[in-house]
Amino acid sequence: MGVLKTIGIVLVTIFLISIIVSAVWSFYITGLVIKPQIETITKYQCSNGQIVDSLDLCPTIQEKALIDSEVVEWVQDPYTAEVFYSVGLFNYGYTEARNVEIKCEVWATDEEGYHLYENPSLITTKKVGNIASTTFKTVDIYDDATTIWDDAVALCYPISCENCEIILKRIPEYQGWFE
């Protein structure tokens, strides 16, 4: 009887194991067993470095004009001391620069080009209006000087505008010019 009892226990054990395996398999197939879920989290980085959940949450950046200038030519009438500047203004931006104002300075120099004085000998400012996007505009400026210089150098640069950024303001060495 001992052998039959052992065989019976083995058969019952096999039967119970098959029922358990069958139940677990049917739960797995029907989804009753909790499957691990993988959650995808998407984050976006805005141009200002901010991390957001959606690109719609990034702050909008207002497009600005980007302006610079260059003295194309300047002359002084040796008889009247009148000074004439021809200044080229550049707008590298994709929007119009409005109400642009430029400043021209004449610096008296020695023969080697070094400034003779701490301040410019002549300062002229002029409102030149608007500059269309991605364009070049030439502006002519006249002013009366009280002195005729043997040697001098002229410098013209934008000092203010609306809806724009002045390139020279990005350069730390020029910061004192705009104060």
Residue 161 lies in a domain: yes
The reply to whether 76 and 156 lie within a common domain is: yes
Q: Which domain holds residue 18?
A: 1-35
97-108 vs 51-52, strand pairing mode: unpaired
- Per-residue pLDDT, 10: 61
The reply to whether 81 and 133 lie within a common domain is: yes
Higher pLDDT, 110 or 92: 92
The reply to whether 174 and 123 lie within a common domain is: yes
The reply to whether 159 and 75 lie within a common domain is: yes
User: How many domains in the chain?
Assistant: 2
pLDDT surpasses 70 at 27 = no
82-91 vs 65-76, strand pairing mode: antiparallel
Mean pLDDT of the chain: 83
Range 26-34 average pLDDT: 58
Statement: the pTM of the whole predicted model exceeds 0.85: no
The reply to whether 71 and 5 lie within a common domain is: no
Can you read off the two tokens belonging to residue 39? 């959650």
- Per-residue pLDDT, 36: 64
The reply to whether 155 and 98 lie within a common domain is: yes
51-52 vs 44-45, strand pairing mode: antiparallel
pLDDT digits (tens, 9 = 90+) for 60-91: 778 899 999 999 999 988 888 899 999 999 99
Can you read off the two tokens belonging to residue 136? 């070049």
Residue 46 lies in a domain: no
pLDDT surpasses 70 at 59 = yes
- Per-residue pLDDT, 24: 63
- Per-residue pLDDT, 162: 93
Higher pLDDT, 44 or 103: 103
Residue 136 lies in a domain: yes
Residue 52 lies in a domain: no
